[in-house]
Structure 1
C-alpha cells in the first residue's frame, strides 16, 4: 500500500513565514516529488499541502524544461566539436558514435 507524503508542517501561530509559507516546504516538495508523482488524487489536510501540490506541479514543469534545455545545449556544443568550421565531419569525434559506452548500445530516436 502506498502512502501520499503530506507536509509535516502545519500553520502554527508564532512560526516565522515568508509569503505564507515555511522554507522547509520546498525541501519537502523536492524530497517527496517522485513518490507523490505516482498518485492521481491528493487529500488536502492543510494549507501547506496546497503549497506542496503547487510545488510538485512546478517541479514537474521545471524538469521538463531542464531536459529540453540540457539536450539542446549539449547538441549545440557537440556540433562545434564533431564538425569543423568548414562543415566537414571531424572523424576523431564521429568515429566514437560506433563505440559502446559501458557495453550498452543506445537506441536511436
Structure 2
C-alpha cells in the first residue's frame, strides 16, 4: 500500500489542488515570507516525508490522492527520482550539489500546462497570480529537496549511495 502524507489534514492555502505547506529551508522564496507561513514545529516536514516515503512509493503504478499534501508528495517523488538520476552520473557530492541546484532552476511545467506529468491529479490554477505563487513555491521546494536528496544520495566516503540510486531507474506511475 502506498504511503500518504500526514499533512493532508492541515488547513493551509491550496492552489491547483496542491497544499502550500511550510517546510524548513535555507533557500529564498515564498516559504520564508508570511504568505505561506513558517515551519515552527520540530520533526518532519513534507520534504523529509517525501524522502522517507520515496523508496516505498516509487514501487507503485497507481496512487490514490487523499488530499493536497499527497499531490505535493506525488510531485516530490517524481522530482526525487530525477535528482537521484543526476546523482548517479556525478563523481562527487560537490558536483551533484551544483547539478541539482541547476536542475532546480530549470524551466518546468506547472499544473494545467502542457508537459506537466500529473495534470490528471492537479486542478488548473484559476488566476495567473496563483500560478506565479505556485511556481515560486515549487521552485523553492525543488531547490530544498535537491539539497536534502544530495545528503542521502551519497555515502560518507563520497560515493553515490547504491541503496538510493538503484531506485532512480524505477518508473513512478509510468512517468
TM-score range, shorter chain: 0.5 to 0.7
State yes or no: 1:30 paired with 2:51. Answer: yes
Aligned with residue 84 of structure 2, among 43, 51, 63: 63
Query: Structure 1: where are the runs of 5+ without partners?
Result: 74-109
Structure of larger gyration radius: 1
Aligned residues between the structures: 67
Cα 1:34/1:6, change in 2 over 3 Å: same
TM-score, normalised via structure 1 length:
0.54
* C-alpha displacement of 1:11: 4.8
Higher relative contact order (CA 8 A, sep 6+): 2
TM-score, length-normalised on structure 2?
0.35
Q: Which structure: greater helix fraction?
A: 1
The 5-angstrom pairing of residues 25-104 of structure 1 reads: 25-70=46-91
Structure 2 gap segments, 5+ residues each: 14-18, 24-44, 96-175
* Structure 1 runs (4+) greater than 6 angstroms displaced: none
